[in-house]
Amino acid sequence: MNKAYFIAFITILRKEIVRFTRIWSQTLLPSVITMALYFVIFGNLLGARISSMNGYSYIQYIAPGLIMMSVIANAYGNVASSFFSVRFQKSIEEMIVAPIPNSLILLGYIAGGVARGLAVGVLATLLALSFTHLHLHNVIVIITVFFLSALLFSLAGFTNALYAKKFDDIAIVPTFILTPLTYLGGVFYSIHLLPKTWYILSLFDPILYMVNAFRYGILGVTDISLTIAFTILTVCCILLFVINLRLLNKGVGVRT
């Protein structure tokens, strides 16, 4: 990457980081409050009535999934809302005519989404430690899953932003797709407890592989093979990157 391209990438990334840190009370704080409520209600109140799961208390078992929920939602929401905003304000045209490749524009926004996802993930992890004890079983797995999950849903948010026609379209996917996938992704239970039909359906949910891989990194237990989990996450990231780049090159959502 030559110097001009590097400066362009850093400029987009810096803009994205400044954007979500400047309004931290709207971008970072709500996720922390939501996670605290999950821990109080599901962990302390309901968890006390549930026996241990895979050798851990219920609050310990759900903690990795709750952390991953915050990473997914924020990585997705940051890119979807930010890129749609520049489309809506027509400022995207300035970047399109600039002498920088579309891949650099894509990477800049994706990096911003990953940064917000990881920031909220760290805050959620610190919050989880105030409710229960978590030991780090495999730090490399934790960091890798953190990054791949934030990357995947940043890319998904970019796709949503390209096709969205109005701001309401940004909220449709989290409400009708991400939320159901999250609750079917094994955040609150082991998928081995599901009836056969729901078990099979859950295997098509990418969030299942994120949650279980991350749970393995923290607790050392998983319902899914790590090899399969990392393969699926990596392939999905590559596919979405290629798709988004092709859409940008075709001018979908950015040229009228």
pLDDT, tens only, 22-79: 989 888 999 899 989 988 887 777 767 777 777 888 889 999 999 999 999 999 999 9
Could you tell me the two tokens for 187? 């955040």
| Whether residue 112 has pLDDT greater than 90 | yes
Q: Is residue 208 part of a domain?
A: yes
Band (pLDDT 50/70/90 cuts) for residue 119 is very high
Enclosing domain of residue 152: 3-250
Q: Is residue 255 part of a domain?
A: no
Q: Tell me the percentage of the chain whose pLDDT exceeds 70.
A: 98
- Alpha-carbon distance of 49 to 16, in angstroms, equals 43
Band (pLDDT 50/70/90 cuts) for residue 98 is confident
Average pLDDT over residues 171-200: 86
- Alpha-carbon distance of 89 to 87, in angstroms, equals 6
- Cβ partners under 8 Å of residue 39, min gap 6: 59, 63, 66, 127, 128, 131, 132
Band (pLDDT 50/70/90 cuts) for residue 253 is confident
Average pLDDT, the chain: 89
What Rg value do the Cα atoms of the chain yield, rounded?
Answer: 19
Of 184, 192, 254, 253, residue with least CA distance to 221: 192
Q: Is residue 78 part of a domain?
A: yes
Average pLDDT over residues 133-156: 93
Number of structural domains in the chain: 1
Q: Is residue 39 part of a domain?
A: yes
Q: Is residue 40 part of a domain?
A: yes
More confident residue, 173 or 119: 119
Q: Is residue 120 part of a domain?
A: yes
Band (pLDDT 50/70/90 cuts) for residue 179 is confident
Q: Is residue 35 part of a domain?
A: yes
Q: Is residue 90 part of a domain?
A: yes
How many C-beta atoms surround the C-beta of residue 120 within 10 A?
A: 29
* pLDDT at residue 52, rounded to an integer: 75
* pLDDT at residue 151, rounded to an integer: 96
Band (pLDDT 50/70/90 cuts) for residue 91 is confident
| Whether residue 190 has pLDDT greater than 90 | no
- Cα separations in angstroms, 58 against 38, 61, 93, 103, 209: 12, 5, 50, 43, 19
* pLDDT at residue 144, rounded to an integer: 95
Band (pLDDT 50/70/90 cuts) for residue 231 is very high
Placement of tokens 């969030």 in the chain: 207
Indicate the residue type of 218. I
pTM over 0.85: yes
